[in-house]
Structure 1
Amino acid sequence: MVKVWYNDTESGQCLNNDKNSPKFISVEELYKKTGVEYFKLNLDTYKTDGILDRIKKERGYSYEDEMVCSKECLDYEEKSMIFATEHLHSDEEIRLFLDGHGYFDVRDCCDQWIRIEVSAGDLIILPGGIYHRFTFGSNHYIKQRRFFINSPVWRAYNRSAYEMGRTTVS
């Protein structure tokens, strides 16, 4: 099952009275607080069981591709930095993880980080306009399917230091 928790990644502290354990929340709470949707798909049957096809049809997704990123990729360092920079997209972002693992951090309505650990079989849908970032897990590898309406349009709007309430960038 997917793990979701509040995490103050600026200071490295978990947002909980017990600083040694994270404050876990349910997938339902994640949706209520952020609009992020989560589905667990069976990778052995997802191409034929109709679940992914229904989601794609309901959302109007007609284009998809597959992306693999690892330390062996020529642009791994660049991709890692782009993914880890806090940003948003005007359209929703939908990803099906086929292999590897990583972490999506999303902002809730109070601007606090919620961390979502994703791995093979996890399908995550981030609504348009939500600030987020992605970091690789310890294996530095991810294989995922990306879904788009029509042709792929992926424009990230990075969050500025000013928007985050900072006067200087460290």
Structure 2
Amino acid sequence: MVLAWYLSESIEDPTAPNKTEPPVYVSLPTLLEQTGMECMTFPADTVDENPEFAQMRKDRDFSYEDTVEMTRETMPDYDKWVETFFTEHIHAHDEVRMILDGTGYFDVRDKNDKWIRVSAKKDDMVIVPSGLYHRFTLDQNVSC
């Protein structure tokens, strides 16, 4: 299950948790209300055979999929991609990410333009709604 918290104002290492002091955690209902971001959990190892996952995809008309494996060994221009993903951006469509392995952070802006960090790991699925400013980075485990 994802965890979420408000991000510190200063970030020296994007791969660190960078929580405020003291930490201010964000519940999933608050995350949804403040950002429109949804989080779900499906077993990654059997997601292709999961009827609930298939039904959710059908209900939401999610038909496109791609797989990204972010490691130095598997991704040409790894450093460029890490920098690109961590650059704040928006999409005209929902961004749906099912985490099949590893861990990383999605940073999203709330209604008051404050960053919320969402920690996602294997079995987590996040839906970043269209029009929401966001960015992504690996955490200190450095693979996803």
TM-score, structure 1 as length reference = 0.75
Q: Distance in 1 between matches of 2:31 and 2:50?
A: 26
5+ unaligned residues in a row in structure 2: which ranges?
A: 12-17
AA partner of residue 4 (structure 1):
A
Q: 1:133 aligns with which of 132, 135, 138?
A: 135
Paired amino acid for 1:105: D
Q: Specify the code of the residue in structure 1 equivalent to 2:6.
A: Y
Higher-strand-fraction structure: 1
Q: Which amino acid aligns with 2:28?
A: V
TM-score, length-scaled by structure 2: 0.88
- Does residue 23 (structure 1) correspond to residue 52 (structure 2)? The answer is no
- 2:125 aligns with 123
Partner of 2:54: 53
TM superposition shift of 1:140: 1.8
> Which is worse superposed, 53-62 or 105-114?
53-62
In structure 2, distance between residues paired with 1:49 and 1:125: 18
Return the structure number with greater relative CO, CA threshold 8 A, min gap 6.
Answer: 2
8 Å contact kept, 1:71–1:140? no
Q: Give the ranges of 4+ consecutive aligned residues of structure 1 lying more than 3 Å apart after TM superposition.
A: 12-15
Partner of 1:158: none
Over the residues paired in the alignment, what is the CA RMSD in angstroms?
Answer: 1.5
Identical columns (%): 39
Secondary structure of the residue aligned to 1:63 is: coil
Is 1:11 the counterpart of 2:10 in the alignment? yes
Instruction: Give the alignment partner of residue 76 of structure 1, picking from 75, 78, 81.
Output: 78
Higher radius of gyration, 1 or 2: 1
- Which amino acid in 2 is paired with 1:70? T
Supply the distance in 2 between the matched residues of 1:122 and 1:14 (Cα, whole angstroms). 21
Distance between the aligned counterparts of 2:128 and 2:64, measured in 1?
A: 17
- Relative to its length, the structure with more helix (as a share) is 2
Tell me the secondary structure at the aligned position of residue 62 of structure 1: coil
Q: For residue 67 of structure 1, report the CA deviation from its aligned partner.
A: 1.4
